[in-house]
Amino acid sequence: MNPSRRGFLGTAVGVSLAPAFAEPFEPVEDSSTFKLGVASYSFREFSRRIAIKWTKKLNIAYINIKDVHLPLKANAKDIEKAKKEFHDAGLTILGGGNITFDKDDEADIRSKFEYAKAVGMPLIVCAPTAVTLPKMEKYVKEFDIKIAVHNHGPEDKHFPTPQSVLAVVKNMDPRCGLCIDIGHTARTGVDVVASIREAGPRLHDMHVKDLTDFSKKEAKVPCGDGIMPFPSIFSELKKMNYKGGVMLEYEIDEDDPVYGMERSFSYMRGVLAGLRT
């Protein structure tokens, strides 16, 4: 634990954190400013029922659904069942993904937009290729569903940085934008806060995580325990009047993620509380 960063919670802003497993379910976020949420990939080793249960217990109201919790090939009956489960738990579906668009196949692209429409996803967090991304624009218009291209860092041969996404989407429909993954962005050597500012209204979604070393992919830790500049990130988002999701994509401790996720949300809530003082 980094004392100076964790100290920001209790001493710098004097905030009293809500218990992560408080009952009844009362999300603590101010939805008019920030939407802290869960990318359900964080619970990839668990069933949809468990993913919903733990998201609820974390006092989170927003979720992006990974297809491990609702398969892309699900039939209408299964989709309606899943939607009811999310709704009954008090969760708002902000989007789905990450969904891969790696086939230069119009039928494949259409089927994934049809899936998103059926689930009620207003946004698809996606991993297209340089070939498929331009072809997705017409489906964005037809289905009125936003796309947020997820940058995957140095290993991504198509879109490693937010800037590489912007170069393609800047002249496309405004609903075509970015999901900035701040961890992957930092690992490319690009300034995270500057990238958020540069994205501007094209920033439709975010995946958040923390690292102790921006040069090492394996250096992931709970938010607040690393060197990610969360206060500056949230301050920039506030200046931009950002209304999209700030989704925790917790990629470590895959068999027991809840404790680290609780710590991450507690830290982020403290940072946000500081911005409101």
Kindly state whether residue 35 falls inside one of the protein's structural domains. no
Largest CA distance in the chain: 55
Domain span including residue 179: 40-275
Flag whether 98 is in a domain. yes
Residue 152 lies in a domain: yes
Average pLDDT in the chain: 91
Better pLDDT: 25 or 272: 272
The strand pair at 176-181 and 146-150 is best described as parallel
Q: How confident is residue 276, by pLDDT bands cut at 50, 70 and 90?
A: confident
Q: With respect to residue 80, please indicate whether it lies within any of the assigned structural domains.
A: yes
Write the DSSP symbol of residue 5.
H
Task: Give the count of beta carbons closer than 10 Å to the beta carbon of residue 273.
Answer: 19
* C-alpha to C-alpha distance for 18 and 36, rounded to whole angstroms: 14
Q: Does a structural domain hold residue 23?
A: no
CATH number of the domain residue 214 falls in: 3.20.20.150
Omega of the bond leading into 98 within 30 degrees of 0 (cis): yes
Cα distance between residue 4 and residue 68, in whole Å: 37
pLDDT band at 33 (very low <50, low <70, confident <90, very high): low
For residues 70 and 273, what is the distance between their CA atoms, to the nearest angstrom? 34
Rg (CA), the chain: 18
Across residues 41-59, what is the average pLDDT? 98
Residue 7 lies in a domain: no
Q: What is the pLDDT of residues 134-193, one digit of tens each?
A: 999 999 999 999 999 999 999 999 999 999 999 999 999 999 999 999 999 999 999 999
- Residue 70: band (very low, low, confident or very high) from pLDDT cuts 50, 70, 90: very high
The pTM for the full model equals 0.89
Q: Each residue of 204-257: pLDDT tens digit?
A: 999 999 999 999 999 999 999 999 999 999 999 999 999 999 999 999 999 999
Domain count, the chain: 1
Q: Are 151 and 164 in contact (CB under 8 A)?
A: yes
pLDDT score recorded for residue 204: 98
Whether residue 128 is contained in a domain is answered as yes
Does residue 113 or residue 6 have the better pLDDT? 113
Residue 9 belongs to a domain = no
Instruction: Say yes or no to pLDDT of 12 above 50.
Output: no
The Cα angle at residue 250 between residues 248 and 251, in degrees rounded to 5: 145
